[in-house]
Structure 1
Amino acid sequence: MVENVSRTVLSNGVRVVTESIPTVQSVAVGLWASAGSRDEEPRLRGISHFLEHMFFKGTERRPTAKQIADEMDALGGYLNAFTDKEFTCYYARVLSEHLPVGLDILTDMLTGSLFDPEETAKERKVVLEEIKRRDDDPEDMVHDLFAETIYPDHALGLPVIGSVETVSAFTPEDLRGYVARRYGPKSLVVAAAGNLEHEAVVALAEQMLGSLPAGEPNAPLTRPVATPGHLLYSRPTEQVNFCVGVGGYGQHDDEKYPLAILDSILGGSMGARLFQEIREKRGLAYSVGSYCMNHREGGYFAGYGGTSPENFEECLDLIRIEFEKVRKDGVSEAELQRSKNQFRGALIMAQESMSSRMTRLGKAELYFDKVPPLAEALAKIDAVTVADVHAIAEAILPADASKLTIAAVGPFEEADKEALAEAE
């Protein structure tokens, strides 16, 4: 697998990573900041996400949100952003000849945003509506509640979106101060993939970001400790949406590779154990599966699903049983090989998207200060054995079901909470 990845660090610390794909006619470019909800002090919870909105609301050179949108539309391009617990990314997809303008729009948003008081007040209402939408979507909300439950005393357990109380209090001065502290050059990565020349992207980045003053480095966090427990959140819904999980591994832990295989076998596909047992054999759920969350300092593993209230306890029991089976008996060679093929297929097929390539570059640079070759990840997955997966299952899946963390959203009554507590 041929990769043409290049990396340059500007004199002020901004990192530029690119992958040249001369056979396409477009470029995906992202401006990544190592600033997310993990870095927010209590009164500023949600400000990284709020900034994601405000960077689109007008700059000194492009005073209105419409002007920013119109300029990107005129290129036939696409502009968007997303916020995570550990980073924020502003990105554009453009034809290769429009890369200079696309990157100029992104960097202008970062360096020249006005944070107008009137626009701040309007966008505050938008974000508050977004919080309400999250709260009205139990399938989404339950994952935030699970993170809060498994990490009750850690920044990684807090929701990216913040709270009504904190968002309602943000001021333009708060936004400017946070940008000054967290969006310094050593926090920034310019990542681009497509039909490009690395030296040209470096020259553009130097021109647009080379004079940025230094900001604060991210303070290291302690490794989160997974906390067993359960939270039943009462909402008048037709289904119960739930997560059941345990602590896992971080981006720098080699154990994340056998855990990825375990995740795939338990809930990563239509052929996975949870899907087959809960949906196909019993018809108890439409959506059921599992996932790994790998942060810089740690992570967790969770099964999830949505089911009718009367089937909730049965679904929990079935997940506990599958966890216990794999903890005691491990996995088969056939399951291992199938999961390796799924991992390889997903990783390689993602390379057909310039956006996916750009995202890999940006995340790798932020997590590892380099971009490991794809072949390295494939080799580490390929090296996983049945014994490795069994060892991970034994290490993280508890023999005592009361050590699991459970979060659920549904039409619960106090008796339901008491019954779950007694069952644990």
Structure 2
Amino acid sequence: MTTPRIHTLPNGVRVICDPMPGLETLALSVVAGRGAASEDLHRSGWSHLLEHMVFKGAGARTAREIVEVVEGAGGQVNAATGYERTSFQIRALKGSLPLGMDILADLVLRPTLDPRDLIKEKSVVAQEIAEAGDTPDDLVFELAQAAAYPDQPHGRPILGTPKSLKPADVAAIDAWRAALYAPDRLVVSAAGAVDEDELLRLAEAAFGSQPAGQGAPTPAAPQFTAGHAAKLRRLEQAHLVLLLPAFGARDDDYFPLRLFVEMLGGGMSSRLFQEARENRGLAYAIDAWSDTYADGGMLGVYAGCAAKDAGPLAALTAQQIIALTDGCTDAELARAKAQLKAHLFMAREQPLSRTETSAGQALLLGRLFPAREISEAIDAVTAADIARVGARMLKPGLVAGSVLGSKASLGAVDVFAEALKAG
């Protein structure tokens, strides 16, 4: 199968078609390469609020008519707002590409934006914000994000706050829509039962006449800071997030970082799962992950544990990071490579995952990466690369994180920092 190509319309909109022979379904994504990180403090949460608003009516359809016509074609419509990307997605049966393009173009370009709906959606988002605050394993991540990136867009909650949403009126939200979804940062991506000629014709008709305008600003690279957050809560479990500075999706060490994370806490054979849960019984849930933005990122570990075990668990996590930096075995590196490739290639078997991956590659990297090239890049990673990645993250001496739980757990991030320093 050939690698799909990126086509660019005269106004800058990029179009990607990724046919998957034999499928009876398709996925279509319209992705903007901007999100909450482009907001200033006074517009915090506006991108997410806008995502809500476009579904209240767009083009000639009401909110109910949008979902009825999509579901009538066997489809589902959804959207997501991130720090550096906003995505609108439709999955549907073969032959639904014209309808999907019509719906998504209306959502992005022609939302109704009724003032009465705006009042209601502010209330809905306020409830969403309150729900996140009441959910410990949501709140602990929000606290950690703010601690790592204080006074920066990447450190503010994507949902915003009731205070920052209050001044948003229809005119201001529509102006933000035009900036956020400017054509030079839009990608129209389709996969599955799709035809390239049909997609290009539909994309040109739907998005080709959109005039270029003043787009939302390019987000500044997030600057990782040594921030600690601890919040006292009467909970059965303590929730911990421990963070180290990492690097972005365009960095040459992207795949070594992914493999470092996999060996540290990516699965049941990982070091943290085996040592913290299986050998010592310090945590029921523990895993590692990496957030990679365009420029910059972080490695994180989340754990849920008894309050009395939060300190020992944080110290153990630091010890395992240091030990992995000191060296990994050939066997665990081979397992991590197999797991990472399986994760990436299983995702490639799903049309929606392919549309989103292709759009992300086009926006961040300016080209598409065939599976073979990704596989070769993963296979090329050595134990020395893993050691270098660990040293890069430890060298700045910066630690951030958060703890949510009873008093006995609140010093866990300090314990993590001290254990890294001592190691």
Normalising to structure 2: TM-score of the pair? 0.94
Are residue 180 (structure 1) and residue 178 (structure 2) matched?
yes
Asked if 1:405 corresponds to 2:400, the answer is yes
Match of 2:361 among 350, 359, 364: 364
Match of 2:421 in 1: none
Q: For 1:421 and 1:277, how far apart are their aligned partners in 2? A: 18
Query: Matches of 2:414 and 2:48 in 1, distance apart?
Result: 35
Match of 2:16 in 1: 17
Matched, 1:7 2:2: no
Shift of 1:223: 3.2
* Counterpart position of 2:386: 389
Q: What letter corresponds to residue 45 of structure 2 in structure 1?
A: G
Q: Is residue 2:34 matched to residue 1:35?
A: yes
Structure 2 spans left out of the alignment, 5+ residues: 419-423
Deviations 1:59-86 (A, max 9, x none): 2410x21111111111110100111100
State the shift of 1:399 in Å: 9.7
Letter in 2 for 1:372: F
Task: Give distance in 1, aligned partners of 2:2 and 2:343.
Answer: 17
Q: Distance in 2 between matches of 1:59 and 1:345?
A: 39
Conserved in 2, the CA contact under 8 Å of 1:398 and 1:404?
Answer: no
Corresponding residue number in structure 2 for 1:351: 348
Distance (Å, rounded) in 1 between the aligned partners of 2:296 and 2:192: 32
Q: Which amino acid aligns with 1:91?
A: Q
Q: Give 1:122 deviation, angstroms.
A: 0.9
Alpha carbons of structure 1 residues 50 and 388: separation in structure 2 relative to 1, 3 Å = same
User: The residue matched to 2:95 in structure 1 has which SS?
Assistant: helix
The CA RMSD over aligned residues, in Å, is 2.0
1:314 maps to 312
Q: What's the % identity of the aligned pairs?
A: 33
Deviation at 1:246, TM superposition (A): 0.8
For these two proteins, the number of residue pairs brought into alignment is 418
**1:411 shift after superposition:** 2.9
Contact 1:4 1:21 in 2 (8 A): no
1:52 partner amino acid = E
Alpha-carbon distance between aligned partners in 1 of 2:99 and 2:413, rounded to the nearest angstrom = 60
Structure 1 counterpart of 2:165: 167
Alpha carbons 1:258, 1:389 under 8 Å: kept:
yes
User: What SS is found at the alignment partner of 1:264?
Assistant: helix
1:254 and 2:249 aligned:
no
Mark the CA change 1:61 to 1:398 in structure 2 (over 3 Å): closer, same or farther: same
How far is the alpha carbon of 1:376 from its aligned partner? 1.8
Superposed, which structure 2 residues align to 1:182-201 within 5 Å? 182-201=180-199
Change (3 A) 1:359 1:418: closer
Q: Does 2:56 match 1:61? A: no
Q: TM-score, normalised by structure 1?
A: 0.94
Give the CA deviation at 1:186: 0.7
Aligned equivalent of 1:209: 207
Counterpart of 2:188 in 1: which secondary structure?
strand
Which amino acid in 2 is paired with 1:128? A
**Partners of 2:218 and 2:262 in 1: CA distance:** 30
Cα distance in 1 between the residues matched to 2:340 and 2:267: 11
Alpha-carbon spacing, 1:255–1:218, altered in 2? closer, same or farther (3 Å) = farther
- Unaligned 5+ residue runs, structure 1? none
State the alpha-carbon separation in 1 of the partners of residues 24 and 59 from structure 2.
Answer: 31
Give the corresponding residue for 1:279: 277
SS at match of 2:57: coil
